[in-house]
Chains A and B, each alone.
Chain A
Amino acid sequence: MIWQQFLSLAGSYPLALRGLGMTVVLSLISLVLGTLLGFGLGILRTGGNRLISSIIGAWVDLIRGTPFLVQIFLIFFILPEFGIELDAFTAGIIALTNLAACFICEIVAAGIRSVPTGQVEAALASGLSRWQRMRQVVLPQAMRIVLPPLVGQYVLLIKDSSVVSAIGLTDLTRVGWLVVQRVPNGLLVFFLVGVGYFIVCYPLIMLARRLERRMGAAHGEVQL
């Protein structure tokens, strides 16, 4: 019986590939945009302007303190009431990008704050401009602190992307729901869905490890 189910599952592989593709594309676009936005927000969050910093802080708290499913419903079902019609893909990208940006903003801000004041003073004293101080002195040092939780966050966000199936996007999770209607073995189907996510996430976990090691070496630390 299991064998029969396997065979009929094998027939669903084009659908599964499409779902995997959707998950990868959604995650990739929103992670890239979310990272850019998150770094920008994180830099502004730690910049001198109190007003900007507290506005960003409030937004980040709001997003971090509400369920992602609710956010995606708001964007997809409520915004059209105000005349902003979005297709499911765009809504998914916006919601995921926003979520990524908010988490990454806090990670980046924490990394920037971890750089000793003396470093900024040294950069200031040698006449580096605000952007040069950030680019040459603060960010490279903050990256050591930022990188491990950043890639960890990527993994979380890829998994969070499964929520977009709720607005009808055929990602990996939704493919699972579709297939399980035909092949009534939820354990097997969702085990395979899990494997699909793992295949996407595992290289990132490996990458995080490699980067951590490289950052350590760049600081002239002894490698064991």
Chain B
Amino acid sequence: MTKAGMIQPGLTKTGMIDFRGVNKWFGALNVLRDITLSVEPREVVVVCGPSGSGKSTLIRCINGLETIKDGDLVVDGQRVGDPATNMTQLRTEIGFVFQSFNLYPHKTALENVTLAPIHVRKIPRAEAEHAGRELLAKVGLADKVNAYPAQLSGGQQQRVAIARCLGMRPKIMLFDEPTSALDPEMISEVLDVMVAVAEEGMTMMVVTHEMGFARKVAQRVVFMDAGAIVESGTPDEFFSHPKTDRSRAFLSKILRH
């Protein structure tokens, strides 16, 4: 084996999502500090940390809802923020579930799910609607196909939002505190859907404090504080044996009740 033929690990090994020394500032505030993180295909990574720690900003960078200041961010082999990268195209491969659902209020559940497949993927309407009905059935909303978002509960809206993302058949799904805006009794119906998506082998990054979910499906938990990744490990390692004072302090707060 010659030296030239050797491939240096870490340089060519690219995950589905690859942060390499990423920094971002909001004015003088360093919201992302030197983030290096690689998410493998089919991996589920849970991101947690106190509010204002940069978790949402981190995943919003992945589909370009936020721009990064320096460092490299490579998603599905394409460099985010590079003028040569077609971000609109890349976004079709990335589903994004918002804390506040952001369903289109003027469209029915089915229309919410079929809008992007019809207009972006150019799938014939009938076919898209058939797929949309199946997806809504899959998230347990077969009877709400023609309901408008205002007629649905928060948990139902969030499940439509997940179906809307799945309709694009994305390679990656990002969840930004998907259950934080929900009443407690609706959280599990959304988490159940997320577990099902994870079990089908979706690459996922989930900002959440739902430890049950993390233990069940996550391969890794990443703990952020003040814009930096402080600790990362398997859910069991992280929740049972946190290594840093900051993660211990954080866990004692969310575990108290």
Contacts and interface: CB of A to CB of B under 8 A. Distances in A.
A126 B98 contact: no
Interface of B: 63, 65, 88-89, 91-92, 94-96, 98, 100, 102-106, 115-116, 119-120, 147-151, 164-165, 168
A219 B65 contact: no
Given A127-B168, A220-B148, A122 B102 contact: yes
Contact of B120 (A119, A122, A128): A128
Given A140-B106, A218-B106, A126 B120 contact: yes
Contacts of A124: 65, 91
Interface of A: 116, 118-119, 121-129, 132, 136-137, 140-141, 218-221
13 contacts: A121-B102, A123-B104, A127-B168, A128-B116, A128-B119, A136-B115, A136-B119, A141-B106, A219-B105, A220-B105, A220-B147, A220-B148, A221-B150
Contact of A132 (B91, B98, B120): B120
A15 to B, nearest CB: 47
Contacts of A221: 150
A155 B94 CA distance: 47
A127 B89 contact: yes
B118 to A, nearest CB: 10
A125 B63 contact: yes
A129 B121 CA distance: 12
A219 B116 contact: no
* CB-CB nearest 6 A-B residue pairs: A220-B148, A127-B92, A122-B102, A125-B96, A126-B116, A118-B102
Nearest to A117: B102
B145 to A, nearest CB: 13
Nearest to A137: B104
A211 to B, nearest CB: 14
A87 B93 CA distance: 57
A52 B164 CA distance: 35
Given A122-B104, A125-B94, A132-B119, 11 more contacts: A118-B98, A119-B102, A125-B65, A126-B120, A126-B168, A127-B120, A128-B116, A128-B119, A129-B120, A137-B104, A218-B106
Contacts of B164: 126
Given A121-B65, A218-B106, A219-B106, A126 B91 contact: yes
A219 B150 contact: yes
A220 B98 contact: no
B256 to A, nearest CB: 31
A88 to B, nearest CB: 43
B32 to A, nearest CB: 18
B69 to A, nearest CB: 20
A118 B96 CA distance: 12
B104 A121 contact: no
Contacts of B116: 126-128
A164 B103 CA distance: 47
Contacts of B100: 118
A141 B168 contact: no
Contacts of A122: 96, 98, 102-104
A219 B148 CA distance: 7
A126 B63 CA distance: 10
B31 to A, nearest CB: 17
Of listed A116, A125, A140, A221, residue having the most chain B CB within 10 A: A125
A116 B104 CA distance: 11
Given A119-B102, A121-B102, A126-B115, A220 B91 contact: no
A129 B88 CA distance: 7
A132 B91 CA distance: 14
Contacts of A136: 104, 115, 119
Nearest to A130: B88
Given A136-B115, A136-B119, A125 B91 contact: yes
Contact of B105 (A121, A125, A126, A141): A141
B221 to A, nearest CB: 24
Nearest to A129: B88
Contact of A126 (B148, B149, B150, B165): B165
Nearest to B121: A127
B26 to A, nearest CB: 16
A135 to B, nearest CB: 9
Nearest to B99: A118
A74 B236 CA distance: 78
Nearest to A218: B106
